[in-house]
Amino acid sequence: MLFQTTEFLILLLVSMAGIVVLRRARPQHWMLLIASYVFYGWWDVRFLTLILLSTVIDYAAALGMQGVRLSVGARARLSGMLIGASFLFLGVNWPAMQKQHVVPAFDDMFFPEWPGARAALIACVAFAVVGPGLYGFYFRLSEKGRRRAFLITSVVSNLGMLGFFKYYNFFAANLQGIGGWMGADLTLPVLAVALPVGISFYTFQTMSYTIDAYRGSIDAEPSLVRMALYVSYFPQLVAGPILRPQELLPALKQPWRLNAVNVQSGFHLAMVGMFKKVLIADWCAPMVNQIFADPMDQPTLVIWLGTALFAVQIYCDFSGYTDIARGVSRMFGVEIPLNFNFPYFSTSIIDFWRRWHISLSSWLRDYLYIPLGGSKCSTGRMYFNLMTTMVLGGLWHGAAWNFVIWGAYQGGLLCINRVLRAGIQKLPTVDAALTSKPGTVFRWAVTAYFWMLGWLIFRVTNFEHLVYCMKKFVLFDANFSLSALGLGRGDPFVALLAAGVFAVLHAVGFFGKRWSERLDALPMWALAAVYFVIGMVFFFGWPAANQAFIYFQF
């Protein structure tokens, strides 16, 4: 379900009404959990099984780490729930239900026809049957061994599901290629399995819960309903921010209440996010797609244009999603953390990664970089840790080599940034020059050049096209012809106008208050005028078709 649809508006209004009508916490939790499952199941109801699997596994694992021994009956209920969910969401032949009949044939329940369903169903049922016995076995181990066994089970299960759905075909294709290069004929099956929307986000979210429970920094959540809502909370479920358990679970301990201030402020934040998405990102997208569909023989100016427009598109698309998610949650009375802090005004790559996708960069720092040793080790090992973290962070974005290259590129820039920073600090004159106003502008320009090149690597998936585009981006060919902008093949003026509006509004927000905060401070008469103007802009500027958010594919 997309934010910019009538269906989501109905879901939002029903959820708000439910919070008002259901005054106690537990009924509110059930209502919000159902709303979250409806929101996610709108894409494909079968993939709800994966969320249920992650929820049940991590719920039981955290309790086990804490020494809570679930009764045989409780374990049987969890097992039965997983088996029932597996047959309901995987065993049911969903395409047949939609196209042919309401109730599937008996054979379809146990031998579903859609690709990958049988393997997934068998795996789910096997795990549900074996799980309760495994849970009891872990309590025969020492406390340290038990805690470690539960953590390993959680991590392997979550990464196993992520790897199967997102990376199997990528690695299988590359293994076949390596085998062919070495003269071996490797024939691996190709799985026709769709990528579940947002699987990377909620996988990292559930893993943070069990890792924090293992470290002892949180108490295990005793309520399965609250745990399920933490995993599937619909405003941020599909594209973040990636919530830590401390950022949502405490808010579920008491009933939620709507108040006018939060509703209005959340509406303003969501409206700003919607403006970014549908009036900037979606208007830049056609020109970006046109340029990079076949960039060969395009001059440098066109490559620069496509890269700049994509930089605007991906920022407005992704930060627009998180603004909407944060705004909706604020309307409910729950604040979720900032995920973007004006990254395009960064003056170093280190600064950029402190401002861009903050929930992911902090997650990689806390759960990967620091456990690898972080910076509290030898210099060589520190750079290895940094490169490993960023390469895996790149691979997290997608099963393609351009994402691996992008991660390595970002890791290399961070290493170089650290080396230069350490060297410049030893030169007081140079340090003073670079921290002056002209020096700050210079550092911003250099940083902008390198994150722009990074977005080019991120966007172009074809390796031949990527090599050509990088060459043109770095080596200017001095072609200033207006025809190079593609005026004869597609009108870029709307995209340039959208990018120009973004640049102005973004700068005004950076050097003053954020736009949502400006709206919060306006008197009612001024707000009415602003609502009318923005409403007219939305009415006349809304794209003909709703486009999915870019990060849904990750």
The more confident residue out of 108 and 132 is: 132
357 within a domain of the structure (yes/no): no
Residues 309 and 199 in one domain: no
Residues 262 and 242 in one domain: no
| Domains contained in the chain, number | 2
466 in Cβ contact with 457 (< 8 Å): yes
Confidence of residue 326 (pLDDT cuts 50, 70, 90): very high
Residues 213 and 276 in one domain: no
Residues 380-402 have pLDDT tens digits of: 899 999 999 999 999 988 888 88
Q: How far apart are CA 279 and CA 348, in angstroms?
A: 29
Confidence of residue 166 (pLDDT cuts 50, 70, 90): confident
The more confident residue out of 193 and 441 is: 441
Number of helices and strands (H, E) in the chain?
A: 24, 0
What is the model's pLDDT at position 107?
Answer: 55
Domain boundary among 246, 277, 304: 246
Across 509-529, average pLDDT: 90
For residue 490, pLDDT beyond 50: no
Q: Which residue spans within 406-552 are E strands per DSSP?
A: none
Q: What is the DSSP string of 522-553?
A: S-HHHHHHHHHHHHHHHHHH--SS----GGGG
What is the model's pLDDT at position 330?
Answer: 95
| Catalytic pick among 29, 268, 357, 397 | 397
Domain boundary among 212, 246, 280: 246
Across 26-36, average pLDDT: 94
What is the model's pLDDT at position 138?
Answer: 87
Residues 325 and 209 in one domain: no
360 within a domain of the structure (yes/no): no
Residues 66 and 203 in one domain: yes
Confidence of residue 489 (pLDDT cuts 50, 70, 90): very low
The more confident residue out of 352 and 47 is: 352
CB atoms within 10 A of CB 491: 13
Note down the domain range covering 321: 258-340+460-554
Q: How far apart are CA 146 and CA 138, in angstroms?
A: 5
What is the model's pLDDT at position 539?
Answer: 87
Across 109-138, average pLDDT: 74
Is position 397 annotated as part of the catalytic site? yes
What is the model's pLDDT at position 364?
Answer: 94
What is the model's pLDDT at position 94?
Answer: 59
Residues 239 and 332 in one domain: no
Residues 167 and 308 in one domain: no
What is the model's pLDDT at position 47?
Answer: 81
For residue 484, pLDDT beyond 70: no
**Cα dist from 367 to 137, 279, 401, whole Å:** 28, 36, 24
